[in-house]
Each structure stands twice: as structure tokens, then as C-alpha cells.
Amino acid sequence: MGPMSFPLPAQPNGTTGQPIVQPENTETTTLSGQATTLPYTFNTKLLQDSACGAWNMDTGASSHLNNSITSLSKFFNTCVYPSISVGDGHSVPVTNTGHSILPTPFKSLHLNNVLVTPHIVKNLISVRQFVRDNNCTIEFDAFCFSVKDFMMRQVLLRCDNTRDLYPVTAPSLIPHVFLVSQHTWHQRLGHLGSDVLRRLVSNNFISCNKEKPLVLCHACQLGKHVRLPFVSSDTVVTSCFDIIHSDVWTSPIPSLSGFKYYVLFLDHYSHFVWAYPLINKSDVLSKFILFRNYVHTQFRCEIRSFQCDHGGEFDNHNLHTLFAKKSIQFRFSCPKTSQQNGKSERMVRTINNLIRTLLFQANLPLTFWVEALNMAIHLLNVLPFTAINNEIPFTCLFGMNLDYSMLRTFGCLCYPHLYPTHKLEPCATPSILLGHAFNHRGYRCLDLKTNKIIISRHVTFDETVFPYVSTQPALPLTYTF
């Protein structure tokens, strides 16, 4: 069969609708000089045995058909169609038009514009006209059909039958499962996720009504609430010191000089990092003032924004007053949300990884962590970083090329030059390299005999020897880093 469209039958007041599209394989007759397309059905034949059957769902009928007006709640003696075409090729006359109702446990379903013709065997419901008039859907399977509300997916009528057609029988018992909401199933199944619930529905293990919108489960919010995912920062800066990231790290042991903390300041644009050892966390304010003055003097610019966590060493009256006075924007991470301060958190982890490695390489005790910190900061500032497209922080900040010729291995054996008072004294002393001198173009060397720091540029190195353990008495390991 080709595509089938049909005219609207007579309305309750006896008026007629407009024909839609001329269907294929239909008969046309003339009423009072006007062509009228006949309704058709393929699932019925001429009446051979006088019988009145139940309604039957038919996907091939263009209109509802009934053989008696007794089945109608309203009927009219006029009809625009003189006859209809049936499956065996004959035409049968139409005597009346009317309306009927199909009762269900939930609401009445309407059968509008039923054509009455006494010569048909089966009373037919046009599926297309039925779903359009009642805003519903019809689902067929091998044993039954179900009429469902289009929006809520609630089963309104369910008729079981194992014969060839789909008659409208006494409504079957609708399983309670069909009437259960998604939220009820969610509770029954132990507050499972929506993806699992949809999978059960799609596999026909359960059936439930659609809810728009889905109900927010209060119990799930209390029992299974999780943190929202973080997205990569899309902050774009165009120059150095637009944003400074900061964090404070606490050491498990004090250094030889009594330091227990360090604060770092990381420039977002160049990725250059500064670190200041602290005896107390309250020293953060004084170190920031030193750092800001350094930036102002050396680079002739101001820090615009300051990103840090919500610790008391940052979120205090003195820093707030200073920042307000200098028009520096404070940017705090939310409490217990270190991911929002991720740049400085990752830098702390990188620094500490390098501190541990340098100490283990040099066989130095953990109390030398400040010396290893200074060396780690120096190395990180001269190494390429993927965060800035493999550029070098030192070059980004100062715009100068690097000279790696002065780099030496941390903790190795070295011989700084001495200035003897008489000609028979040694000209050098065995020492350990502790890094570069901050305010000198030279090296910091720990004299193994006197435990004093010697600063000198005249130093000879043996980078294959790490002499600290062999020159010190064995001590019990009482610290863990």
C-alpha cells in the first residue's frame, strides 16, 4: 500500500471537514456535483454472517467504522461519505456518523466521527485517528496492545488477546509496575544512578512514568553528595606580576637555622619562583613586603593580583589592609578546596620532590632542607617548564640568556681556596657544596673540619664524591621526611 491520507468525516453539527490528500487505490464518487474521496479499510469484508463484534485496533483504516448505532453515544443521520471501500474491493454504504467513548480505569478515550455501515463484519478503530484525538500512543506486541498517555507514559488501557486481530476486550489488569514513577524506582533500588535506571528501562526489566523534570533526591544529597569536578583554568595574563600565586609549606623538622616553614611566590606569566624560609607563619607579612618592594624596585611595576589559600597567614587584617592600600586584588580559594590554588600547590610538590632528591643524593641529614630548598629554587628557575610552552622562567622574566657553566652538583666534595697566614698552611680545605651564594657570584661550601660556611669563587670540585656520611659519626634516624 502507498501512503494513505484521508478527509475529515462529518463534524457533530453535521458540517464536513476539508479533504486532505487523495490516497492511492481509493474510489471517488460524486455527490451533488462535488468529488468526495471514500474512506477505506483493508482488514474487513462484506457482512456474511450478521454479527456485532467488539472494537478492533486497525492500523490500515482511515476512519472508525461500526455496524450499529447502538454502540455510539451520539449519532447523526447525515454523512458526507455515501460509501466506503473494503478489503475485497467492494464499496458498502454509510448510513450515519456519530461519536463513541472507550472507557478506561483512568479516563475516557474518545472515538470521534465514527462511520456507521451495517454491512461490515468487524468494528474498527483507526489507530491514526485515535492517537491524534486522544494524545496517546499505542504499542503492539504478540499478545496484547497498550494505550499510553503520550506525555506521562502512563498505561491507560491494556487488552490481552492471542488471536489474529487486536480486539478491545475487557481491560487487563495493569501491573502496578507500569504506574510507578522514576523516583519511586530510584528509592526501591537503593538510590541507584540515573544511567543504571535508564538501562533497566531500556532493557524492559522495569517500566515507569516519565517525569519532567526529574525529582531531586534529598536522601542522595545527604548520603552521596560529591564535590563538583574542576576544569582547567582559562586565566590569561599578558605580563609578569599580573598574578602571583603563593603558599606556605610546613617542614616536619626544623632546619639547622631553626626554620620550620617556607613561603613561595610564583609568577603566573613567567613561572619564576621565589622562596623565603620562615621561623613562624606570621612572618609571611614581612616576607611579602620584602618581595613586593623587590618587584617594585627591580621591575618598576606593581603586583596586580595575589592568589592563595584561605589560611590565617594570608587571610588576616594586616594583609587585607596592605592589599587595600596598594590596590592589590586578593584571590582566595574556597575553604578545603586546594584545587583552586593548584598552581602553587603543584609547585610546592615539585620543590619538595627536588629537595628530597638532593638530600638523598648528597647523603645529608634532613636538617639541611633549607640549603636544598635554595638549590632547588635556583635549578627550577633555569629549567624549561611545560606550563609556559617549555620556555625558561629566568629568560621569560629577565629577557637574558642563561650561563650553565657555574652549575655544580649539590653536596659533592669541593675545595674552596684559603688564604693561609704562613707558607706551610694548606691552601684549600675539603668541603661540601651547599649551593650558590645568594648575594655573591660564588659558592657556599661547608668546611668538614670546622662546620663553617665558606663563600668563594675559587673552588675546585669532585662531583663524583659525596663525603658527608664518611666524615660524620653514625646517628640514629629519628626523622622522617
Chain position carrying cell 592589590: 328
In whole angstroms, give the CA distance from residue 456 to residue 436: 10
Helix (H, G, I), strand (E, B) or coil at 260: coil
Place of cell 560529591: 226
220 Cβ contact list (under 8 Å, min separation 6): 191
- Residue count of the chain, please give it: 481
* 479, 366 contact by CB (below 8 A): yes
DSSP 115-172: EE-TTBSSEEEEHHHHHHHHTEEEEE-SSEEEEEETTT--EEEEEE--SSS-B--SPP
Strands 109-116 and 65-66: parallel
Specify the amino acid at residue 139.
E
Instruction: List the Cα angle 171/172/174 in 5-degree steps.
Output: 110
Q: How far is CA 347 from the centre of its chain?
A: 27
Q: Which helix (H) or strand (E) holds 107?
A: none
Task: Quote the cell numbers at residue 132.
Answer: 491524534
Query: Is 133 one of the annotated active-site residues of the chain?
Result: no
- For residue 353, count other CB atoms closer than 10 A to its CB: 11
| Residue of 49, 58, 247, 309 with catalytic role | 58
Whether the bond between 213 and the residue before it is cis, its omega within 30 degrees of 0, is yes
The catalytic residue positions are: 58
